Structure 1
Amino acid sequence: MIKLVLDCLLLLPLLLIFLLESLLKSFIPKKRKSVAGEVVLITGAGHGIGRLTAYEFAKLKSKLVLWDINKHGIEETAAECRKLGAQAHAFVVDCSNREDIYSSAKKVKTEVGDVSILVNNAGVVYTADLFATQDPQIEKTFEVNVLAHFWTTKAFLPAMMRNNHGHIVTVASAAGHTTVPFLMAYCSSKFAAVGFHRALTDELAALGRTGVKTSCLCPNFINTGFIKNPSTR
């Protein structure tokens, strides 16, 4: 109970700052970035956050490149994006496999063109305690949730740097800032994803590539099918 009260007291000043910021932005709105015509690649676009993100980019008239390991799911997403008026190219890609990522990236460059917005969204999660989590599950968690970010970024960032134009989005998680029992591998991988974003941001700044932007999204637990009825305090 005492911890809950302390947490609330720490939250209050933050809430005040955010409310004042929102109030200011309502009177002085920031000009929104146009993504019309941008080539947007979204990993894990066959369901959940990736699918809904694709729909939003489709509404904004982006050209979509959709990756997922699930052929049926990715084709459904692509079909809906086309109904929304966008060009959509679906690729079946295993984001736990580095060579599959690199070979698929070559196909994208040849068939679609240079990617200007990369949304690293693909993720996996296994719910179990440390000893019940199988070694291959731990490896796959890191392969998809963070190592794939390295491979996709290495594949598509060079063109962005040449043009000094682009955007790399890291979809991490609130679990990249706090820990949850029975999600040790997942939380660890998301902490790594947040670190990847921060290091990439600093490296681009040090290289003077001010036109290549970065964003890191850290949503709370969402019912995407990986975890049934997710909830935290």
Structure 2
Amino acid sequence: MKFLLDVLLLLPLLIVCSLESFVKLFIPKRRKSVTGEIVLITGAGHGIGRLTAYEFAKLKSKLVLWDINKVTVREEKKISIVKAEIGDVSILVNNAGVVYTSDLFATQDPQIEKTFEVNVLAHFWTTKAFLPAMTKNNHGHIVTVASAAGHVSVPFLLAYCSSKFAAVGFHKTLTDELAALQITGVKTTCLCPNFVNTGFIKNPSTSLGPTLEPEEVVNRLMHGILTEQKMIFIPSSIAFLTTLERILPERFLAVLKRKISVKFDAVIGYKMKAQ
């Protein structure tokens, strides 16, 4: 009962904050400068990572680009090289990711392990390596490239969705942890797009709209970083869906998901398991 009363007392503040947020929608936010910033991007060899590197280069940032196809040395060694030869990374873009389009039984154990190692565990290791310098300088930015699949579950993307839910949780909890420690100069941003035309998922489609082009996603990502936006949904309707999923009846949600009609090529192993 006391908790409910405390919440009711916060209603005036809710109204003020809501009005403030509404007004801010019509006021363009100033974009910060990243000239001279040391930007490390994982998964920079293709797709979103590669295009993000181009955009930071245009803004005269210093780039450190990692990709599994280009660098084979151990993670710890790579981090040591960056610190010794480049300096303190001030913008970290955790972009590297893998996806396997298959159900639980068709997804091999090593594939499940790799999905979590790349899509979320790597975020811990890179952030632990570069956050101390950001904290010391009270200056920096940590970017988590997640997915709409980190908010809304999709059949036959079980390992991927699970890892992206974890990545979104990583971003949210890190954001709160920095606030609790009063580290105000280190910002966080999380990118959550729908299907992107990078070739990882074959023949994707959904009634939410056409498959996104990487250029469109990167433009939104760069704007979000430069204006210090915490969560970026592409399309913005994804944010609305995440809210609906928490308040609508389960039966209605089942119908709604059929209407959204998410489709792509996938390997189904349940029939093989049953035999």
* 1:34 aligned onto 2:8: no
Contact map agreement 1:44 1:122 (CA 8 A) in 2: yes
Measure, in 1, the Cα distance between the counterparts of 2:155 and 2:187: 34
Q: CA RMSD in A?
A: 1.7
- Residues 59 and 177 (structure 1 numbering): CA distance in 2 closer, same or farther, change over 3 Å? same
Instruction: For 1:190-209, list aligned pairs within 5 A.
Output: 190-209=164-183
Conserved 8 A contact 1:223-1:229: no
CA separation of 1:203 and 1:220: change in aligned 2, threshold 3 A: same
Question: Could you tell which deviates more after superposition, 128-137 or 28-37?
Answer: 28-37
SS of 2:120's equivalent?
helix
Instruction: Check if 1:128 corresponds to 2:127.
Output: no
Distance in 1, Cα, partners of 2:119 & 2:108: 17
Q: For residue 66 of structure 1, what is the aligned residue in structure 2?
A: 65
* 1:151 corresponding residue in structure 2: 125
Q: Distance in 2 between matches of 1:173 and 1:22?
A: 28
Q: Which residue among 106, 119, 141 is the counterpart of 2:93?
A: 119
**Following TM superposition, by how much is the alpha carbon of 1:23 offset from its aligned partner in structure 2, in angstroms?**
9.1
2:137 aligned to 163, 181, 189, which one? Answer: 163
TM score, norm. by length of structure 1? 0.77
Q: Distance in 2 between matches of 1:44 and 1:70?
A: 9
Q: Structure 2: where are the runs of 5+ without partners?
A: 1-17, 208-275
User: Does 2:196 align with 1:225?
Assistant: no
Q: Which runs of 4+ in 1 moved over 2 A?
A: 20-25
Tell me which amino acid in the other structure corresponds to 1:134.
Q
Q: Give aligned-pair identity as a percent.
A: 82
Matched, 1:175 2:174: no
What secondary structure does 2:193 align onto?
coil
> Rg bigger for which structure?
2
Cα distance in 2, alignment partners of residues 128 and 188 from structure 1: 13
Residue-pair matches, total = 188
Q: Does structure 2 retain, via aligned residues, the 8 Å contact 1:40–1:62?
A: yes
Q: 2:112 aligns with which of 121, 138, 142?
A: 138
Give the distance between the partners of 2:22 and 2:53, measured in 1 at CA. Answer: 28
- Unmatched 5+ stretches in structure 1: 1-16, 72-91, 95-99
Deviations 1:115-152 (A, max 9, x none): 00000000000011100100000000000000000000
The aligned amino acid for 2:204 is: P
* Counterpart code for 1:112: I
Higher relative CO (Cα under 8 Å, sequence separation at least 6) belongs to 2
